[in-house]
Structures are given as structure tokens and as C-alpha cells.
Homo-oligomer: A and B are copies of this chain.
Amino acid sequence: MVKLTDIARKLNISPSTVSRALNQKGRISPELRRLILETADEFQYQPNEYARFLKTNQTTTIGVILPDISNIFYGKLLKGIDATARNNGFSVIFCDSDEDLANERTYYEMLKSKNVCGIVVAPAGVSDIYDNASAEDHIVFVDSAPSGSSSHPVITIDNYRAAYELTEHLVSLGRSRIYAIVGPRCETSANDRVRGYLDCLAAHGLPAEGHVFECEHDYASGVKAMQKILSLHTPDAIFTENNLLAYGALSVIRAYRLTIPSDLSIACFDASDDFGMMSVAFTTIIQPVAEFGKKAVELIVGMNHSQDSYQGPMEILMEYAFIRGQST
């Protein structure tokens, strides 16, 4: 590795001058400057980030914590994060919390100890992990906040409105026994979706008592919840709060030999079907997840450029799409 002093020695000048030329700081005669830049180029000089950090305490590394990278939803998110980071000269340290808050906490501590210049988190659930985080930690949440009153921005969609719209759609098709399978309501996004669903039912005078089945976010939970619903009730529509819950519910619906959508409609969030490979084309809300990633990185870049702490909105709502499929 060629270093600063190598190019200083070659040019018979001091390392200080080379450093200033490279960092565009302080006054430098234009010719010298040009000469230094040329030589640096010729030598293929790459500043040693570790040494630089020791003085500046600044990195160009963004930390990312996601709950499950084998879920395509988060794959698209990471893709958006990575592309935007690259365009801004940042690199990405990736952490998969595996839906586990203990892992999430460990990763967060690790990222802090590495002095990353910002952290994008899709929380695995509700926690106090970030309660003592300061504004300088440059944390941005995506999809959901880890607790009700966050002092860090959250990038999401208007979950309340989207859920209302999805439910309204079911009602407009004449469905009246609409049951919901949702993730933990202590999570902000899940709760907003439940509220939208409930308010819509109420607005139409439809029953809602005991209609919400709360569970985890995964496939198996969808299976269990759907079994319970069918054993207790005779729904004519199902609302699920994410894609995996819908897939789990569907497997039970099939086992019961119910026909979609005639016997039962099903509508959900995030069930995109990029290659037309799904056996059911879901009516679904699609979140612009790559945009989430882009926006998150842009926020962090902005936080790093500005001296002041973040002044923007704490909730950043992106546009979603309502997709009418054949499941309703």
C-alpha cells in the first residue's frame, strides 16, 4: 500500500501539504495541487481509512440491521440501500438480526463501536435498544419504529390509510365477515394497520369484536391463526398484515378446500409477484421498499453533511400502490 509520505517524499514536500491537497483543505498553489493529485493518481494512492479515522473520528460506513434477508422484501430494501450508498461513496456493514432482539442489540452495539456514520434499522420488534441513542448516531428506521415515541426518523407508508383502503375494498365487494391476522400490535406499523382495518369496519357498521388475531410475522403464525379463525367463525374475507401471514393462511384455506375468492377473499400487504409465479395473484398493498432504502441513505448522508442535528419530519411517508389481484 502506498502512503501519504511516499508521495510526499517523491515530490520533496511535506506530508501536511499532500494531505491538504488531497482533502481540498487550506490554501495550496494550484500547480503544486495539480502535481500532487497527478502523483497520487499515478501511485494509485488510497488513503488509509483507519489512520484517517483516528484523527477525524469520521467514517464513510453505514450500518444496516434487517430482520431477515432471506425475505425478498428486505432483499429489495438492502438493494436500494446499497445502490444509494455506493453513489454517495459509502460502504455498508450488513447485519441480519434473524428476527431476534438480542441479536439486534448486539449488532447495534457493534456498529456503534465501529463509529459508523449512520444506521438503517428495520426493527425486529419493539425494544428499548435505541432509547439512549443520541441524534448524532444518525439512526433511521425503516418500515416500523421500535417504540411509540422515537426521536429518530421513520420511513414508512401511511399504514393506516393503506389498511383502510384494503378493507374498504373488501367491504365494497359485499364482504361483511372480515377477519384480520396481524403481527404484534405493539409495533407501530402493525398497529396502524389494525386501526385502519377497524375504523373501516366501524364506518360501515360491521362487527369487529374478536375479529383481530394477533401473532408473530411468520408463515407458521399465519397457519395457526387461520386454523383458529376457521374453527371459530365463518369468514368471507381475510385481511393479513404482511405477505408471510397471507401465505400461511392460504395453505389452511386450501386444506379446507375453500375457493378463493368465491368462498373467501384474501387481501394483504407486501405480496408482490415479480415474475407472475404465484398461484394466487393477491390483492395487496405494495410498499416502495427500494425507495425506502434510498431515502434512508439520503437522510443519513444529509445528517453527515449538516452540522445541526436532523430537523426534518420524524415520520416520512412514501407512496404505496394498491394492486387488485384475483384473491378478492
The interface-forming segment of A91-99, A146-154, A187-195, A226-234 is: A91-99
Contact A91 to B114, CB < 8 A, known contacts A278-B279, A279-B277: yes
Docked pose: A74 CA to B82 CA in angstroms: 14
Contact A96 to B110, CB < 8 A, known contacts A50-B54, A250-B277: no
The interface-forming segment of A31-39, A65-73, A137-145, A304-312 is: A65-73
A247's partner among B71, B98, B277 (CB-CB below 8 A) is B277
Minimum C-beta distance from A138 to chain B (A): 16
Within A240-293, the residues touching B (CB, 8 Å) are 244, 247-248, 250-251, 275-280, 290
Minimum C-beta distance from A125 to chain B (A): 18
Cβ of A83 within 8 Å of any chain B Cβ, yes or no, is yes
The contact size tier of chain A is 35 or more
Interface pair A91/B92, CB less than 8 Å apart = no
Within A153-176, the residues touching B (CB, 8 Å) are none
Minimum C-beta distance from A119 to chain B (A): 13
Cβ of A113 within 8 Å of any chain B Cβ, yes or no, is yes
In the assembly, how many copies of this chain are there? 2
Docked pose: A46 CA to B68 CA in angstroms: 27
A69's partner among B54, B68, B78 (CB-CB below 8 A) is B78
Interface pair A278/B276, CB less than 8 Å apart = no
Cβ of A76 within 8 Å of any chain B Cβ, yes or no, is yes
Contact A275 to B70, CB < 8 A, known contacts A54-B51, A92-B94, A113-B46: no
Q: Given the complex, which residues of B lie within 8 Å of A277, measured CB to CB?
A: 247, 250, 278-280
Cβ of A103 within 8 Å of any chain B Cβ, yes or no, is yes
Binary per-residue interface labels of chain A (113-137) against chain B in the complex, 1 for a CB within 8 Å, 0 otherwise = 1110000000000000000000000
Q: Given the complex, which residues of B lie within 8 Å of A93, measured CB to CB?
A: 61, 91-94
Cβ of A213 within 8 Å of any chain B Cβ, yes or no, is no
Interface pair A82/B69, CB less than 8 Å apart = yes
Interface pair A75/B82, CB less than 8 Å apart = no
Docked pose: A269 CA to B79 CA in angstroms: 24
Minimum C-beta distance from A77 to chain B (A): 9
Minimum C-beta distance from A102 to chain B (A): 11
User: Which of A69, A109, A244, A250 lies at the interface centre, i.e. has the most chain B CB atoms within 10 A of its CB?
Assistant: A69
Minimum C-beta distance from A289 to chain B (A): 9
Cβ of A53 within 8 Å of any chain B Cβ, yes or no, is yes
Pick 12 A–B contacts, CB within 8 A, sort by A.
Answer: A46-B109, A50-B51, A50-B115, A70-B75, A71-B75, A72-B72, A75-B75, A83-B96, A91-B95, A247-B275, A277-B279, A277-B280
